[in-house]
Each structure stands twice: as structure tokens, then as C-alpha cells.
Structure 1
Amino acid sequence: MYDATNVIPELATPLEARFQRDGVVGALGVTNGALDAIERISQVWLHPGDRVIVEDPCWTTQRTLLQMLGLEAVGVTIDDEGIDPRSLANVLSKRKCAALMITPRAQNPTGATMSIQRRDAIRAVIEDFPDLLVIEDDHFSELSQEPYPSLTYGRNLFAVIRSYSKIFGPDLRLAAVCMDQNTADQVHMRQLLGPGWVSHIIQRLTARMLTDEVTMGEIGKAAEIYKQRRDLLINTLAVAGLKAKGVSGFTVYVPVPQESDTVITLAERGWGVQAGGPYRIDSDPFIRVCVSALNPEDVLKFANDLIIALDPSSRILLR
């Protein structure tokens, strides 16, 4: 047991097939979740004071982790297709950065998903920085309905992290990581000195579910339900003149002039949404709405309550 491989063969087979399907080729590893992978990889290559490029806005826990590691988060702007190549090029031309951390699909909180054209544009920008560590957090993985647009082809240092917590439940602490060989060796060695390995029981359970047609069929149905709920909310808000967005994922991004007032008013009306402040570096105010548990019959009420939260004097309500 103590000299066992990092990934058991019955799990390695479906994981490798999925990575290769998406054009991601490297050494395979597993960790206790996505954040565990990000932390371990960061500790291998990054040092206190290093600058790390992140999306603005970006995942709050990621920012907290970078702060705890003594790393400086440098934000680049993002739209529906992912990070803006011009913003990225501007940062790289002015500041020495050690890593780029991105979410190619279902970006949290904006729901952005990188297009193939945008991927190619970003690859062209980072081509002149061969030592830049690229970490991709594909947290939505099997729930994503869009093709995977990886930046890792030809990179010296990279890691693509796929969490299975959102698919099979948060208590399943497992993420698959496809990395360059050097990074994989370093991460594996550090694991052996700490927890040793990810439970083989959890690995077998994950392998069984990934290769079960009924289970994966249900995952596909869930992905379609999330898409329907997300699209319904965005389209309903559009009728009211509110430009919400979210290409994929659980979340819908809604620009607002005042985050705290909007959150409080919605809370008074029974809705729990998140203010954008903890996600933002220099980007504009917004609220984050999670649609995973938003019933279609409640969307109209939420939209009207949001209209009132933004303008208490409004008489333009949806029916």
C-alpha cells in the first residue's frame, strides 16, 4: 500500500481517456480536491512575493489561498469568452509574473467559457513566456456542455485540474490532475511525505461512477437542467433590461450599482445572493446568483424582486 501508485489503474483509464479527448497530454495524478491541487502545485513552483495572474473577478477561495501563500494576485479583465488577450498582454509586458491561473469553462462567478478562437489568441500571447506556469481549474468538468479549450499544448509547466466534487458531491474529495512530468513528480513526492495518497476506496468509487452509463446519463440530465435554469433567468432579466450573463456553470452574473443594498433587499424578500466584492480586484460591482436550486416557477418572482431592489420606485414589473 505505501509504495502504491498515485492513481489506481481502474481510475487512470477513464481519466486519461477524457484528458486525451480534450487534447491534454501529460502525467496523471489525483488530489483531495481542486484547492488541494492548486496549493500543492503552487508550493512546488511559486515563492512568497511572486505574482500570479488571475481573472477579475475570480473565485474568492482561490484569492484567499494565494494570500495565505504570500502570492500577489494580478487581475486581468474577462468577458463571456474568457480572459481578454489584450489585458493579459498588457500585464505580462509590464510586470514579471510567475503563473497564470484560469477557469476555461464555467468560470466562477461570471459563467464565462473560453472559445477556441480566444484560446488561440491567449496561446499566442503566452508563447513568449515559456516559463510561465499555467494552471487550469476545470471545476465543472463532466457537467460542462462546451468543448474544453486548453492552453497547455507545448507548455513547459502546466496543470489541468478536474474536480469531481460538483458532479458526485462535495464529500467526494477527489480531483484529477494532468501535469507536465516534472510537476507531477514534485507533487507526488510531497503527497507521500504528507497524506500519502488519496483513498483507494474513493478512487474506486469515482472510477465506478465515471464508467457507469446510468450514472453518467444522470449527470448529463443534470447539466441540461442547470443550463435551462441559467438561460431562463438570463432571458427573464433581459426582458426587464438587466444584462445578466453566464455561458455555463451554476452562476449568473448580474451587474448592479450597489452590491450591499441589493443583497440586503433581496435577503429581506427571501433570496440569498452574493455580493461581488470578495470576487473583485478592480472590476465593476455585481451580484452572483446561483441557479442550481432555483426553481423555474420562482424565476419571475426573483426577477421582480431584483427590479425593486435596484429601483424601489419602479412600476415596471414582469408578468
Structure 2
Amino acid sequence: MATQYSISGTTAKGIAASVERGISEGELAPGDALPPVRRLADDLGVSPGTVATAYKELRRRGLVVTRGRGGTVVAEAPSVASRRPPQVPPGLVDLAGGHPDPAFLPVLRPPAEVHPTFGSHRASPRLPALEELTRAWFARDGVPAERVTFAHGALDCIARLLSVELRPGDAVAVEDPGFHHLLDLVPALGLRMVPVAVDEEGMTPDALRTALRSGVRAVVCTPRAQNPTGASFTRARRDELVSLLREFPEVLVVEDDYTVEIEGPVAPTLAASGLGRWAQVRTVSKRLGINLRWAGMAGDPVTIARHDGRMLMTSGWVSHILQETLVGLMSDPAVARLVAAGEAAYTKRRLALIDALGSYGIRATGASGIGVWVPVRDESAVVNGLRTHGWWVAAGSRFRIVTPTAVRISTALLLPEDAERLARDFADVLRDRQAVYGG
């Protein structure tokens, strides 16, 4: 239990604000337990109902979670403060971040001149040239593109969709393991996560069926290069999932196809399967760089309209300067060749590590994407062990809900000639820790 921070307040609002202040100032850390309801009520001289109401509000906002007999504890990624990735210790090779290789990113060339604009762009938020390129981008892969829109990145788009479609307390089916920022976002919106197991072909039908029958209102998934496992839909798996989803036509299905252009052949997608409520989100961060905070989205008429209605009331539009920059990049043959070279290099690097680990009897998954997922019994032991060999990898706890322990290794910057050394060091770490390694 946290004993260094004294919660104060005489109303539910005041108590909740005190806990939030403790979290934001670092006095209450992720995993710290809050006092039991009756004990805190006695300490503050208020009714147990007042404290229970405060805790309920904190849970709704994603600041705390309840763990049955474990009581109420501060969430692992409370929405009151952003969770930043740990700093890479000096001298280590960073294989934790999941970022693309700068060698395969183009130089950005914004418009040479930007003339003053009178008024706002709310009446015409999308440049026709970029809208046309976006339609062609989706249509090329069989995704219906009659209606497209823009947002400030994938998470911005997904957050807006979930906010307009769902209400606090509603449930969202998410991949487990899954994208750690999404796993932070959903509870921060006051929504409940329902984990859906993932194998090498994506969400498993049995797990999705269970989630749908439990009453989830939305499903968020990745058609290929699933983060962190690298899973990609096969046609058979896609068809199984679509068959299930058609039994629940009111459930919103959101696909995050974040690795378009650096992942080879197009995976079969749910978005191209005639579902009633759907959206597919595509970004350019992996192929063109993180400075381009932009996402394109295709979807059914209702979903697009609701997204745009909310965006109109908030940010309004994506910068037209950014849009003009994207038009130039997406139309440039030299940029396309650079991206294609990156795609080939990423595939070679990922497969080199999987093969090298396999030669030591270490199982790793990574059918696509820019990383591999390696099951281990003790994440901390492996992360710290590899650190002593000069490698910095990500503990799987950032990506998991209930699935077994593992580590994620980003391969975007790992040259094939270095894969053997990493695999050898990995094997040495496991041999040193046979008592705790589970294979």
C-alpha cells in the first residue's frame, strides 16, 4: 500500500482530485494500492459511499483499476500523465523502440511558399489532390474508398471513433498482446478492455466469439504486422472473423493498417468484406517519418460522418501545409523506390533474426512487420541479461493483458550480420538463467 502520500478531501470530487494530484506529481506510482474504502472513509471522516464514488470516477477515467481482493491500485498507464518509454542507457543498441530506419525515410519538402489564408479550412478540410491519392491508396487494396477522411495519426483517429461511438463503461475488444499505446488509450477513455488472443494469423476466432458474446461495442485489430507479434490475417482467418462479425452488425470494427508500403503483399482485410460498421486507418509514420502526423481513414457512411462531425468541433482539419507535403511525397517516384528498398531490408533483417534465434532453439514469431516476439518465462531477467551484452529490448509487459510473458525485439535497425551475435547472446542469457527460463 502507498504510505508516502496522504489522500485528502471531504467530497467525492475532492478525494478524486487528491488522488489525481498524487498520480500527476509522482507521489502515487503505477501499481500503488489505494486504501480500502472503509479505512479511507474513517480517516477522512466521510461516508464509505463518498469514497466509493470517488474511486468509481477514478476508474472511469482510467486512473485506477480494481483487482478483486487486490483492491484498488493506480493504473499502469494512468491517463493523467503520459507514459514515456524508458531512456536507452548509453552504449546500448536500441532494439526496443520499433522505429523505422532513417536511411529509408525521405527528406521532407514542405511547400516553398505558404500564402496567408482568410478564415478557416472547416468548409474544405481535405485537399482534393490528397483526397484522391488516399482513395486510390485504399482502392488499390480492395478497401471501399467512396468515403475517406483525415486525422492526426492513427491513435487520434481511433480515439475519436471510440469517443463518438461508445460511452464510459462500454467494452472494446483488443488484441492481446497488442499495441501498448492502444492498451493505454482505451481505459483512459473510460472504456473496458476485453482481451482477444492472437496467434500467427491474428485474432483467434474462439477468443473473438467470446468477446462478441460478452457485449463488446467495438473491435480494434491489425490486419498485418500486428504489434508486437507480427501476425497477419490469412484469407481463411479473415473469412472466419468476418463470419462471426456479421452476427453482430452493430459492433464497430476498426482496422489499424499502420505498415502499408513497408510490409509487402496486402493481407486480406476485414474492411474489404462488406461489414456494416467498419473503418480502416492508415498512417505514413513508418514509411515517411514521424514528423508527418497524418492518417487516412476509409469507412462506412455513418462512421465517417460521426468522426468528421466530432473533428469539426475540435481540431477542425489537418494542416494544409502538411497535406501539401504529403501530396508531393506520395506522388514522387524516388520516394516510392526508397520505401520499396526499406521494405526489402526490413524483411531481410526480421527473417535473419528469427533464423538465428531458431538455430539456438529459441522460438520467435514475426511473420511480418519490423519486430519479433520471443516467449520467455522471466522478462526482467532476459531484458537485464541482454543489457549486459549491449542490447536494449522491450519487456513484453507493456504489450500484454493476460497472455504469457515475452520480450519484443525491434529489427528495423538490426543488420543481418548482427543477428547471429544477438541470438548467441540471447542463448547465453537463457543458459545463465535456466532456473527461470520457460522456453
Question: Which TM-score band applies after superposition, normalised by the shorter structure?
Answer: over 0.9
Query: Which amino acid is the alignment partner of residue 164 of structure 1?
Result: V
Once residues 208 and 433 of structure 2 are traced to their aligned partners in structure 1, the CA distance between those partners, rounded to angstroms, is 41
Q: Secondary structure at the match of 2:351?
A: helix
Q: Which runs of 5+ in 2 are unaligned?
A: 1-119, 435-439
Name the residue aligned to 2:266: 147
Matched residue, 2:162: 42
Say if 2:217 and 2:251, in contact at 8 Å, map to a contact too.
yes
Determine whether 1:81 maps to 2:201. Answer: yes
180, 183, 191: which one aligns with 1:71: 191
Give the equivalent residue in structure 1 for 2:395: 275
The answer as to 2:132 corresponding to 1:13 is: yes
Q: Which residue of 2 aligns with 1:199?
A: 319
1:32 paired to 2:152: yes
Aligned to 2:308: 188
Written as runs of structure 1 = structure 2, the 5 A alignment for 1:141-180 is 141-152=260-271, 153-180=273-300
Residues matched between the structures, number: 313
Which of residues 339, 342, 345 is equivalent to 1:219? Answer: 339
TM-score, scaled to structure 2:
0.69
Residue 134 (structure 1) shift: 0.2
Distance (Å, rounded) in 1 between the aligned partners of 2:409 and 2:238:
27
The CA RMSD measured in Å over matched residues stands at: 1.3
In 2, are the aligned partners of 1:6 and 1:188 still within 8 Å (CA)? no
Q: Is this contact kept in 2: 1:7–1:28, CA < 8 A?
A: no
* Residue identity opposite 2:215 in structure 1: K
Letter in 2 for 1:138: D
What secondary structure is seen at the aligned counterpart in 2 of 1:203? helix
2:122–2:317: 8 Å Cα contact kept in structure 1? no
Once the two structures are TM-superposed, the CA of residue 255 in structure 1 deviates from its matched residue by: 0.8
The structure whose RCO (Cα within 8 Å, separation 6+) is larger is 1
Contact 1:32–1:174 under 8 Å retained in 2:
yes
How is 1:60-139 mapped onto 2 (pairs within 5 angstroms)?
Answer: 60-93=180-213, 95-139=214-258
Query: Shift of residue 188 of structure 1?
Result: 1.5
Per the normalisation by structure 1, the TM-score is: 0.95
CA distance in 1, matches of 2:429, 2:179: 25
Aligned position for 1:317: none
- Letter of the 1:21 partner, please give it: R
Is contact 1:6–1:29 with CA below 8 Å preserved after alignment? no
Aligned to 2:377: 257
- The whole-number CA distance in structure 1 between the counterparts of 2:230 and 2:433 is 31
Which residue identity is paired with 1:84?
Answer: T
Q: Secondary structure at the match of 2:390?
A: coil
Question: Structure 1 residues 148, 8: CA separation in 2 closer, same or farther (over 3 Å shift)?
Answer: farther
Q: Could you say which structure has the larger radius of gyration?
A: 2
Report SS of the residue matched to 2:175: strand
Question: CA separation in 1, counterparts of 2:393 and 2:247?
Answer: 41
Query: Residues 243-285 of structure 1: CA distance to partner in whole angstroms, max 9, x if unpaired?
Result: 1110111110111111011001111211110111121111111
Partner of 2:409: 289
Residues 1:210 and 2:326 aligned together: no
Q: Give the Cα separation in 2 of the matches to 1:277 and 1:209.
A: 37
Alpha carbons 1:29, 1:176 under 8 Å: kept: yes
For 2:194 and 2:404, the matched residues in 1 are separated by 16
8 Å contact from structure 1 (residues 165, 172) kept in 2: yes
- Label 1:88 to 1:187 Cα distance change in 2 as closer, same or farther (>3 A): same
> 1:229, 1:294 within 8 Å by CA — same for their partners in 2?
yes
Q: Which moved more, 1:147-156 or 1:290-299?
A: 147-156
Residues 104 and 138 in structure 1, CA contact (< 8 A), matched pair in contact too: yes
2:37 matched residue in structure 1: none
Does structure 2 conserve the Cα–Cα contact (< 8 Å) formed by 1:99 and 1:134?
yes
1:218 is matched by which residue type in structure 2? L
- CA shift, 1:313, in A, is 7.4
Does 247-256 or 151-160 show the bigger shift?
A: 151-160
Q: 2:65 corresponds to which residue?
A: none
Shift of 1:192: 2.0
TM superposition shift of 1:169:
0.6
In 2, the alpha carbon distance for the partners of 1:135 and 1:7 equals 22
| Maintained 8 Å contact 1:44/1:183 | no
